[in-house]
Structure 1
Amino acid sequence: MFRSCAFCNTPFDGDGGPSGLGVGRRIAFDEWKGRLWVVCPRCSRWNLTPFDDRLERIEAVARAAQSGRVAASTDQVALIRWERYDLVRVGKPLRVELATWRYGERLRNRQRERMKVVVPLTVAAIGLGIAANVAAGGGFGVIVWNIHRAVDWVYLRIVGSRKVSLIESPICTHCGSIMQLRARHVQHARIVPDAHADMGVLLSCPRCHQEGAQLTGIEAVQVLRQGLTYLNLARGGRRRAEDAAREVDRVGGPDHLVREIARRELPLRALRPERGLALEMAVDERAEVEELERQWREAEEIAEIADGTLGSSTLVEEELRRLKNRDGDQPSG
């Protein structure tokens, strides 16, 4: 078994998990066509595994996927979390009951990032406050008591000041200025319908405060991902991931949620807290699974060529037929 990516030569991470390959943390598989790939952690290209014992390994990965949890899916590709591995299932995914895992991990990571900034600043500020309190004879108790609020405010300013990464900054149609967007500016944006894309993001100019540019495609997604991260942090409170996930499912999935919000054309900051978090989830899930599907289509072209050289071995045909018939008909989609 190869140990590094055939495209960029980067060593694979992980140990292959349920596949038994010995390498890989993200494994992609297609039961119907008998494909098994290891996804490179660096370039994200899909590396087709040798055919020798591929079919048995696919069965093992498929069994693990059935007990895993679907993070996102399209009609063709499903991203499944199983223990510490990512399994990418090609074909119509099995329906898995909604639970906290869909977004809980990201919220926990966000909280850990916040604590890395807040805790040291709080400790330092309390130390200075105590010293000042002693020197002044106890007159700074209220200031020390409110230090954590001040530190939280500082952290939110840091997150809100992060520059939104765009290939080219838009130009405001009202004042003609280059819109240097920060994460905090996106809360004034609106998601709107667009005739040529899934959605458009109508941006408010930081200088003249008028709606001055509309983004679509990848740039719209990038703006939303950074802006919603700040907005959901700034609102505070304890919003549970499962509540936001139910909000996504209640309207029929990420695509339906985005279309519904676009139809109403509300500013992002006007969304209910749980809907704001649900929108962040939906945008992230759509972006990730669309990229996975693009990678799969590219990998499938290579696999068709590679496996096409195997000829029509009777043993291979019988094994593929057994896999196809194990769960019934071919997956739809």
Structure 2
Amino acid sequence: MYTTCAFCNAKLDGDGGPSGLGVGRRIAFDEWRGRLWVICPKCARWNLTPLDDRLERIETVARAAREAKLLAATEQVALLRWQVYDLVRVGKPPRIELAPWRYGERLRARRQERLKYVIPLTVAAVGLGVAANVAAGGSLGVFVWNLHRLADGLYVTIVGNRKVNLVEPPICAHCGALLELRAKHVQHARVVPEAHADIAVVVSCPHCHHEAAVLTGSDAHAVLRQGLSYLNTSRAGRRRAEEAARVVDLAGGPDRLIRDVAKRELTLRSLRPERRLALEMAVDEQAEVQELEREWRDAEELADIADGTLSSNAQIEEELRRLKGRGGNQPNG
């Protein structure tokens, strides 16, 4: 098995986990078609594994997938976690309850990013504050001990001022301004029902403050992910993560929660804190699994060509028929 990505030449991470490939932390497999991929951590492209021992490895990965926790799924692709490995299953698996620890993992990453800003700012501010306090004869004690709060507030400001990158920034229907949104502008946005899209968001213009445009697809995901991240910046504790995860579970999963929020058409800012955090989790999962499905379709085209060229071995063809006969999940596409 190769150790570098065939597309970007980056080193493939991990040790393959249940696949036994010796490489890979995110493994994708299609039990029906007999396909096994290692997903590159850098470019996210799917590297098709060699045919020679692929089929036995697929069975091993499929067994691990049956014990794994479902993170998110579309009609074609499911993202699962088995120990420290991500498994991407092509096909429609049975529903497994979403796990709170999955969301906790995301929030831990956010806390780590926060500390990268807050700790240096706090240290610098305390140093300056102590020096000023000594010079002032100790009269600035209260100010010094509140410097960490100032640093924390500065971090929230940094997050709020991050630009939202849209594929096609819309024009405000009221004032004609180009909508160059920052994360803090999204707090007044509303998730709304849309018959022809998985998700739709009405955003307000930062210039005239009127509702300006409806975003769908990847632009809607981008707006919500950054806006909700800003709103939830100060509410990322483990207990809140567990409460929010239960909200997602009780709704029946990410897609159903998003539809339920859309029916109410409330601004993001007016949602209850745990529901707002749950919505962020749901949007993250939906966006990630949809991107995985797009990547799978590209990888499937290449795999059709590769396997069509290489698979002339009668024994391999017979093994493929055996796998299909076991009643694997055949994708609808």
Normalising by structure 2, report the TM-score. 0.90
- For residue 138 of structure 1, give the secondary structure of its aligned residue in structure 2: coil
Aligned match of 1:206: 206
Q: In the comparison of the two structures, how many residue pairs are matched?
A: 330
1:236, distance to aligned residue in structure 2 (A): 6.4
Equivalent residues of 2:71, 2:99 under 8 A apart? no
Distance of 1:102 and 1:135 partners within structure 2: 49
Aligned match of 1:331: 329
CA distance 1:33–1:124, change in 2 (3 Å): same
Distance of 1:93 and 1:212 partners within structure 2: 40
Once the two structures are superposed, residues 233-258 of structure 1 have per-residue CA deviations (whole angstroms, 9 ceiling, x without a partner) of: 14566653232122112112211111
Distance of 1:240 and 1:161 partners within structure 2: 24
2:92 counterpart letter in structure 1: K
CA distance 1:122–1:42, change in 2 (3 Å): closer
CA distance 1:3–1:119, change in 2 (3 Å): closer
2:141 counterpart letter in structure 1: G
Give the alignment's Cα RMSD to 1 decimal. Answer: 2.2
1:322, distance to aligned residue in structure 2 (A): 4.8
Equivalent residues of 2:129, 2:144 under 8 A apart? yes
Distance of 1:287 and 1:158 partners within structure 2: 24
Identify which range, 21-30 or 7-16, moves more after superposition: 7-16
Distance of 2:40 and 2:236 partners within structure 1: 36
Aligned match of 1:182: 182
Once the two structures are superposed, residues 7-49 of structure 1 have per-residue CA deviations (whole angstroms, 9 ceiling, x without a partner) of: 3444423332221222222211122222111222333222221
CA distance 1:118–1:278, change in 2 (3 Å): same
CA distance 1:219–1:320, change in 2 (3 Å): same
1:331 counterpart letter in structure 2: N
1:211 counterpart letter in structure 2: E
Aligned match of 1:81: 81
1:324, distance to aligned residue in structure 2 (A): 4.8
CA distance 1:146–1:7, change in 2 (3 Å): closer
Aligned match of 2:29: 29
- For residue 23 of structure 2, give the secondary structure of its aligned residue in structure 1: coil
Distance of 2:87 and 2:198 partners within structure 1: 27
Equivalent residues of 2:97, 2:249 under 8 A apart? no
Identify which range, 23-32 or 259-268, moves more after superposition: 23-32
Once the two structures are superposed, residues 175-203 of structure 1 have per-residue CA deviations (whole angstroms, 9 ceiling, x without a partner) of: 22222211011001111122432232111
Aligned match of 1:18: 18
Identify which range, 263-272 or 119-128, moves more after superposition: 119-128
Distance of 1:3 and 1:82 partners within structure 2: 22
1:60, distance to aligned residue in structure 2 (A): 2.2
Identify which range, 120-129 or 181-190, moves more after superposition: 120-129
1:64, distance to aligned residue in structure 2 (A): 2.8
Distance of 2:251 and 2:159 partners within structure 1: 30
Aligned match of 1:111: 111
2:329 counterpart letter in structure 1: P
Aligned match of 2:135: 135
Q: For structure 1, which runs of at least 5 residues remain unmatched after alignment? A: none
1:112, distance to aligned residue in structure 2 (A): 1.0
Aligned match of 1:284: 284
1:50, distance to aligned residue in structure 2 (A): 1.4
Aligned match of 2:307: 307
Q: Is 1:245 matched up with 2:245?
A: yes
Aligned match of 1:58: 58
Aligned match of 1:268: 268
1:224 counterpart letter in structure 2: L
Equivalent residues of 2:107, 2:236 under 8 A apart? no
Distance of 1:132 and 1:9 partners within structure 2: 53
Normalising by structure 1, report the TM-score. 0.90
